């Protein structure tokens, strides 16, 4: 599992569910509720973040170059 970039650690975190490691979306919407969706890859998690706020698009471009 690739390391979550420092700027995204407030909205993404690595969690263990059973014997599997996931990335959890911690984005909070205007209603104050945490999203909580789990992902297997950082790329998928960042694509999901873009649905919350387009400002995260630049991180997807960094991941695709790597």
17 within domain boundaries: yes
The residues near 50 (Cβ < 8 Å, ≥ 6 apart) are: 56, 57, 60
55 within domain boundaries: yes
36 within domain boundaries: yes
pLDDT score of 64: 74
What are the φ and ψ backbone dihedral angles of 4, each rounded to 5 degrees? -75, 125
1 within domain boundaries: no
* Domain of residue 29, residue span: 6-65
59 within domain boundaries: yes
Contact present, 4 and 12 (Cβ < 8 Å):
yes
**pLDDT tens digit string along 9-57?**
999 999 998 899 999 999 999 999 999 999 999 999 999 999 999 999 9
Q: Domains in the chain: how many in total? A: 1
As beta bridge partners, residue 38 has 24
């Amino acid at each position: 599992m690739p390391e979550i970039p420092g700027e995204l650690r407030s909205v993404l975190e690595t969690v263990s569910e059973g014997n599997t490691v996931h990335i959890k979306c911690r984005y909070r919407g205007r209603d104050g509720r945490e999203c909580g969706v789990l992902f297997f890859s950082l790329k998928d998690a960042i694509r999901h973040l873009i649905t919350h706020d387009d400002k995260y698009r630049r991180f997807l471009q960094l991941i695709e170059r790597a």
